[in-house]
Structure 1
Amino acid sequence: MREITIRRVRPEDVERIAEIEALCFPAAEAAQQEVFKERIAAFPDCFFVAEIDGTLAGFINGCITNSAVIYDELFHNTRHHIPDGKNLTVFGLDVIPQYRNQGIAAQLMKHFIQTAKDTGRQSVLLTCKEHLVHYYESFGYVNNGVSESTHGGSQWFDMTLLLH
């Protein structure tokens, strides 16, 4: 098995990140390169990439909030990031198709959860589609039901991982 390196995002990663996002999400849901530039500038401590043999294979990112759920405006405006907030959000966990089923997403998620613990957060929040609820439950997330989020015109489920 090849070695997976998890590291903090760098500004020069932005083009590849946007390409990966476009592979992983429908156009209506995918963040654009300009949005990723803003996120990297606003919350680089909440944005990690996975590399295999020097190739960017995936990433995880999100902001910090005091909200108990992810609301749509969080995706679009970095001013909602509250650096000393209590909850870390997951905006996206992306792994390009040829690198899936190799544990990369799990390593990214575990790193993200550990980051939340290390920085004193109370919980990690995410929204996901119904077919992924079970996957996130395997990390300890609890399904709180259908989200009010309508990001990209899809139905999402609110998931919460309490850290203490």
Structure 2
Amino acid sequence: MEVMIRAVCLEDLDRITEIEAICFPAAEAATRESFQERIAAFPESFLVAEIDGIIIGFINGCSTNSSVIYDELFHSTEGHIVDGKNLAVFGLDVIPEYRKQGVASKLMKQFIQVARNNGKENVILTCKERLVHYYESFGFENNGISNSTHGGSKWFDMTLVL
């Protein structure tokens, strides 16, 4: 199984939207319109994973000077600051058939490299409690319960210092 990681393009929009709906509950999932705006605003930090030309996962996020993800970042690209010191992860999605095969890890490692290549100081994300240990395996530190209430869920703030 050869997984290729590449930059997103607008032609990926429908497949990305489909994968998001599979991976996240409706209250947390980004919309097609939101993805369209993200692709236009920060394609440099929007990566897809594919096998034989079929997208099986993706990771995306914006640059910000905020040390944590706040809910408005999910809903508008206006918070994206091109030269922001932090790169935020909005979502790391892999369809169920390809989970636990290293796809998410490849996406995260490439995303972290994008952050380094662009001179970012940190990579930040929020995650549910069950995923704290997973992100710690990449070197993220758990900063405790987030103020984010995105989708009505309880989140934890995580930071990877680069």
TM, length-normalised to structure 1: 0.98
> Is residue 118 of structure 1 aligned with residue 121 of structure 2?
no
| 1:38-77 equivalence runs, <5 A | 38-77=37-76
Q: Secondary structure at the match of 1:98?
A: helix
Instruction: Could you tell me which runs of 5 or more consecutive residues in structure 1 were left unpaired when the two chains were aligned.
Output: none
Q: Distance in 2 between matches of 1:55 and 1:99?
A: 12
Tell me which residue corresponds to 2:103: 104
Instruction: Could you tell me which runs of 5 or more consecutive residues in structure 2 were left unpaired when the two chains were aligned.
Output: none
Tell me which residue corresponds to 1:90: 89
Tell me which residue corresponds to 2:151: 152
Q: Distance in 1 between matches of 2:137 and 2:52?
A: 28
Q: Secondary structure at the match of 1:84?
A: coil
The residue type paired with residue 29 of structure 1 is: E
Q: Secondary structure at the match of 1:34?
A: helix
Q: Distance in 1 between matches of 2:157 and 2:101?
A: 26
The offset of 1:54, in angstroms, is: 1.1
Tell me which residue corresponds to 1:16: 15
Deviations 1:78-128, CA, capped at 9 Å, x for gaps: 011000010000000000001111100000000000110111000000000
Deviations 1:116-158, CA, capped at 9 Å, x for gaps: 0111000000000000000000000000000000000000000
The residue type paired with residue 142 of structure 2 is: N
Q: Secondary structure at the match of 1:57?
A: strand
Q: Distance in 1 between matches of 2:152 and 2:64?
A: 23
The residue type paired with residue 119 of structure 2 is: G
The residue type paired with residue 38 of structure 2 is: R
- Report the count of equivalent residues: 162
TM, length-normalised to structure 2: 0.99
The offset of 1:53, in angstroms, is: 1.2
Identical residues among aligned pairs (%): 70
The offset of 1:56, in angstroms, is: 0.3
Q: Distance in 2 between matches of 1:160 and 1:151?
A: 18
Q: CA RMSD in A?
A: 0.4
